[in-house]
């Protein structure tokens, strides 16, 4: 039986523990696992059999989380890692070789802009940031050394909705996968694989967990991309010296189209090591049980606050895709069911100084660098999350000097609006 998403958030990936019959997935707080015999160990290490070897590579608590997000996103497999940034890096590492490049949207989370625009250069990779609102810009930046297109379904902080299907076509026409960071929307609002995405990434820290108590990331493989259609992805299609010449795409074909996600695990996670702690996986599993309920309240509260701010005399503008007249409203209806999520930005009159004063004056809102919490959160990106960017880059990323970002929580909307009102009064 195929269950609705609300049911999957509770049940997917988390059957009763087979040993103890515990209904809640236990925290398997162990570093390693006993082998049945020498042959069993050899088969595990040789990829001839799947099973637990070492918690850096796999863990039963993490596996339950991977099973849940796989079901919610409609993929064939997932890999949980230490953070959203780690998820991006492991995905890139599995696809890239020195001299290759990534074409990415300019409107991304500030940390992703820095990772793709600067940090990956140390691997001999290049990040090409373009205005992905026009798919032609993405197409024009792709060349024979491009190995993926990277976007956010709902961009942080500006609430930009990307045309996933159009960008998937651009990527596929070039023979490369589309990677979509779905953190801001979550699978309750958007399932990118249904619109052509090949790989989905989340920071579990945000809405999946929802309680601001642990860091994590996850990669989901759609199983739909044909890695063997070209010679662009040798980690998956050429003999691997660290596995005695095994070709992952060939060796795993009898099991299913899982070569990419297995490659992320046995090449990327194994060698780079950003493993998710089992306790963090447990916290994410617990949080995900209420994901659908929380997102419903998040979206309801965010729309009410955005509507109120839009007519406030100290606010210049509000960027929230669910608002009628917003430039991304049509794409919001197409990809997010008309719901704009919990996070949006607005511009305060008075610029940088006014933005700083506002975030220092709130009481219900917490001034911190996170989103997706049950609590309402606020930040001034230009002085914090995007502070490494130039003024031009700030504007391009939707994080100019007057921009304030809010992540609207699940408190009563009257209290949220009252707190914002008293803080604006102090400017």
- Give the mean model confidence (pLDDT) for residues 73-77: 98
Q: How far is CA 233 from the centre of its chain?
A: 23
Instruction: Label the pairing between strands 199-203 and 403-407.
Output: unpaired
pLDDT of residue 39: 93
> What are the residues whose beta carbons fall under 8 Å from the beta carbon of 12, sequence distance 6 or more?
3, 67, 68, 70, 71, 72
pLDDT in tens, 338-390: 999 999 999 999 988 999 999 999 999 999 989 999 999 999 987 776 666 77
> What are the residues whose beta carbons fall under 8 Å from the beta carbon of 58, sequence distance 6 or more?
52, 265
Q: Which of 9-13, 246-250, 280-284, 393-397 has the highest mean pLDDT?
A: 280-284
Name residue, tokens 């290049």.
126
What is the C-alpha to C-alpha distance for residues 164 and 97, in angstroms, rounded to an integer? 26
Q: Is the pLDDT of residue 398 over 90?
A: no
pTM (global) more than 0.75? yes
What is the C-alpha to C-alpha distance for residues 167 and 247, in angstroms, rounded to an integer? 30
pLDDT of residue 397: 65
Instruction: Label the pairing between strands 77-81 and 343-348.
Output: unpaired
In the structure, what pLDDT confidence band is assigned to residue 331 with cuts at 50, 70 and 90? very high
Angle at 324 between CA 320 and CA 330, to 5 degrees: 80
What is the C-alpha to C-alpha distance for residues 312 and 308, in angstroms, rounded to an integer? 7
- Give the mean model confidence (pLDDT) for residues 113-130: 96
Please state, rounded to an integer, the average pLDDT across all residues of the chain.
Answer: 94
* Residue 39: both structure tokens together: 């042959």
What is the C-alpha to C-alpha distance for residues 224 and 74, in angstroms, rounded to an integer? 11
- Give the mean model confidence (pLDDT) for residues 181-201: 98
In the structure, what pLDDT confidence band is assigned to residue 393 with cuts at 50, 70 and 90? confident
pLDDT in tens, 202-245: 999 999 999 999 999 999 999 999 999 999 999 999 999 988 89
Determine contact, residues 314/355, Cβ cutoff 8 Å: no
Q: Is the pLDDT of residue 1 over 80?
A: no
What is the C-alpha to C-alpha distance for residues 199 and 86, in angstroms, rounded to an integer? 15
pLDDT of residue 110: 83
What string of DSSP letters covers 327-380? TTHHHHHHHHTT---SEEEEEETTHHHHHHHHHTT-SSSEESS--S-SS-EEE-
Q: Which of 396, 385, 409, 371 is nearest to 184 (CA)?
A: 371
Q: Where are the beta strands (DSSP E) in 209-362?
A: 217-221, 315-319, 343-348
Q: Is the pLDDT of residue 158 over 80?
A: no
In the structure, what pLDDT confidence band is assigned to residue 411 with cuts at 50, 70 and 90? very high
pLDDT of residue 388: 67
Q: Domains of the chain (ranges plus CATH)?
A: 5-286 (3.40.640.10), 291-425 (3.90.1150.10)
pLDDT of residue 85: 97
> What are the residues whose beta carbons fall under 8 Å from the beta carbon of 194, sequence distance 6 or more?
74
pLDDT in tens, 245-292: 999 999 899 899 999 999 999 999 999 999 999 999 999 999 999 999
In the structure, what pLDDT confidence band is assigned to residue 18 with cuts at 50, 70 and 90? confident
Q: pLDDT above 90 covers what percent of the chain?
A: 86
């Amino acid at each position: 039986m195929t269950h609705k998403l609300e049911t999957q958030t509770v049940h997917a990936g988390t059957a009763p523990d087979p040993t103890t019959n515990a209904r809640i997935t236990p925290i398997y707080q162990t570093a390693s696992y006993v082998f049945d015999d020498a042959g069993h160990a050899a088969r595990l290490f040789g990829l001839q059999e799947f099973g637990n070897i070492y918690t850096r590579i796999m863990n039963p608590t993490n596996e339950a989380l991977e099973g849940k997000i796989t079901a919610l996103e409609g993929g064939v497999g997932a890999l949980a890692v230490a953070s959203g940034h780690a998820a991006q890096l492991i995905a890139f590492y599995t696809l890239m070789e020195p001299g290759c490049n990534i074409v990415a949207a300019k409107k991304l989370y500030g940390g992703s802009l820095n990772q793709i625009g600067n940090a990956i250069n140390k691997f001999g990779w290049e990040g090409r940031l373009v205005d992905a609102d026009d798919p032609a810009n993405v197409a024009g930046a792709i060349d024979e050394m491009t190995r993926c297109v990277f976007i956010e379904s709902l961009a942080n902080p500006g609430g930009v909705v990307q045309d996933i299907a159009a960008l998937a076509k651009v990527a596929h026409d070039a023979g490369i996968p589309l990677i979509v960071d779905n953190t801001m929307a979550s699978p309750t609002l958007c399932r990118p694989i249904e619109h052509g995405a090949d790989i989905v990434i989340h920071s579990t820290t945000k809405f999946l967990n929802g309680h601001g108590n642990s860091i994590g990331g996850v990669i989901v493989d759609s199983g739909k991309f044909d890695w063997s259609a070209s010679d662009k992805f040798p980690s998956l299609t050429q003999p691997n010296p660290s596995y005695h010449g095994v070709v992952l795409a060939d060796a795993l074909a009898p099991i299913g189209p899982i070569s990419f996600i297995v490659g992320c695990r046995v090449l990327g996670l194994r060698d780079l090591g950003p493993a998710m702690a089992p306790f963090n996986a447990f916290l994410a599993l617990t949080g995900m049980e209420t994901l659908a309920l929380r997102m419903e309240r998040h979206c309801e509260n965010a729309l009410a606050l955005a509507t109120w701010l839009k007519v406030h005399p100290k606010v210049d503008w509000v960027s929230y895709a669910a608002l009628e007249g917003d430039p991304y409203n049509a794409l919001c209806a197409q990809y997010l069911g008309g719901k704009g999520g919990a996070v949006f930005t607005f511009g305060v009159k008075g610029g940088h100084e006014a933005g700083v004063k506002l975030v220092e004056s709130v009481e219900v809102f917490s001034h911190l660098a996170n989103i997706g919490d049950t609590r309402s959160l606020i930040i001034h990106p230009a002085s914090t999350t995007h502070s490494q960017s130039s003024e031009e880059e700030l504007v391009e990323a939707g994080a100019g000097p007057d921009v304030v970002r809010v992540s609207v929580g699940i408190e009563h909307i009257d209290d949220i609006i009252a707190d914002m009102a008293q803080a604006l009064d102090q400017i």
